Amino acid sequence: MVEIFLKTLPFFALIGLGFQACRTGFFTSEAAAYLTKFVFYFALSAMLFRFAANLSLAEIFDWQFVGAYLTGCFAVYILATIVAMIRRRLIAEAAFEAQCAIIGNVGFLGVPMLVVLLGEAAAGPILLVLSLDLIVFSSLIVIIVTGSRDGRMSLGVIRTVAIGLVKNPMIVSISLGLAWSTTGWTVPGPVNEFLAILGAAATPGALFAIGASLAGKSAERLTVAGWLTFCKLALHPAAVAVGALVLFDVPDYEAAVMIAAASLPVAGNVYILAQHYGVAPQRVSATILVSTALSILTVSAIIAWLAPLSGS
């Protein structure tokens, strides 16, 4: 446990550095926004394309893996929704609480950290988890929130979801990388080196950007934030573990990567959507802050528990 904690500590130290730099005013919120844009559209996209271009679709996609992950996710999603409805929250608010309960920071934290901790072979399973989060649950939240306001589904909602997916650079880079891999061609040396150099900026840039974004968040509504943090850091990886190790026949290593990805704190893009739709942004903000702070310990504990499965 201590050894794993020391391995994860540098990643969270980078988050802390970004938080402190922005909190003290040395790094402005505008600068943080541009850094996030650089990571999102360039560095992380280069990293994802390079991973996908060196993998085949068969190495990434597996129905057992998909079934296990979605089963675990929907179990916690439904539980969080029921609890929110018991508290008499609106449908849109319940949807965002459920989103907090299962959507982890796989893109900015999981891809850089888990590939280093669990090995390059983790890239394929992580890309699949990231794709499922973006395609299934990012679409679902838009459909629920928009549908609850309009009182019905419409072609406009479907068009909004489709445009959002097509414009997402993570989806685009993974898709283009897989398209390249189907040609059977190797990525030309200079291009691969360019992608490697640019992609290397994703790890420190993404972690620093996470910290900078947290500096502007408040820890209000701690009761709900505590419950949603418990869902995300404990119930979500536990449910995914049951799906992978009990209900579906997922190989040990892939199961370990999936569970580790499920243990990550709440993703920042949940807050962006909450702010965009004007639905419980403070509640989401507090959950991101609390879950990220506590994940310093919980992620290390879960990865240590997964060591026999991952072979690390």
Residue of 29, 190, 139, 306 whose CA lies nearest to 147: 139
For residue 184, being part of any structural domain is answered with: yes
pLDDT of residue 79: 97
Give CA–CA dist 188/194, Å, rounded: 10
Q: What percent of the chain has pLDDT over 90?
A: 51
Number of domains in the chain: 1
pLDDT of residue 83: 96
How many degrees, rounded to 5, is the angle at CA 218 between CA 214 and CA 219?
A: 110
Residue 165 pLDDT exceeds 80:
no
Burial class (CB in 10 A: 0-12, 13-18, 19+), 155: exposed
- Which of the residue ranges 98-107, 116-125, 150-159 has the most confident prediction, judged by mean pLDDT? 98-107
Give CA–CA dist 114/261, Å, rounded: 8
For residue 142, being part of any structural domain is answered with: yes
pLDDT of residue 100: 95
- Could you report the per-residue pLDDT of 254-292, keeping only the tens digit for each? 999 999 999 999 998 888 888 888 888 888 888 999 999
For residue 312, being part of any structural domain is answered with: no
Domain of residue 46, CATH code:
1.20.1530.20
Q: Is the pTM of this model over 0.85?
A: yes
How many degrees, rounded to 5, is the angle at CA 53 between CA 303 and CA 265?
A: 30
pLDDT of residue 157: 67
* Three state DSSP letters for 16-68: HHHHHHHHCCCCCHHHHHHHHHHHHHHHHHHHHHHHHHCCCHHHHCCHHHHHH
pLDDT of residue 152: 58
Q: What percent of the chain has pLDDT over 70?
A: 94
Q: Lowest-pLDDT range, 67-71, 83-87, 146-150, 270-274?
A: 146-150
Q: In the predicted model, what is the mean pLDDT of residues 11-21?
A: 92
- Could you report the per-residue pLDDT of 208-253, keeping only the tens digit for each? 998 888 887 766 667 899 999 999 999 999 999 999 999 998 999 9
User: What does pLDDT average to over the chain?
Assistant: 89
pLDDT of residue 58: 80
- Are 260 and 302 a contacting pair, CB within 8 Å? yes
Residue 151 pLDDT exceeds 60:
no
For residue 33, being part of any structural domain is answered with: yes
Better-scored residue on pLDDT, 64 or 220:
64
For residue 121, being part of any structural domain is answered with: yes
For residue 274, being part of any structural domain is answered with: yes
Q: How confident is the model at residue 106 (pLDDT cuts 50, 70, 90)?
A: very high
Q: In the predicted model, what is the mean pLDDT of residues 174-179?
A: 91
Domain that holds residue 103: 2-307
pLDDT of residue 60: 85
Residue 147 pLDDT exceeds 90:
no
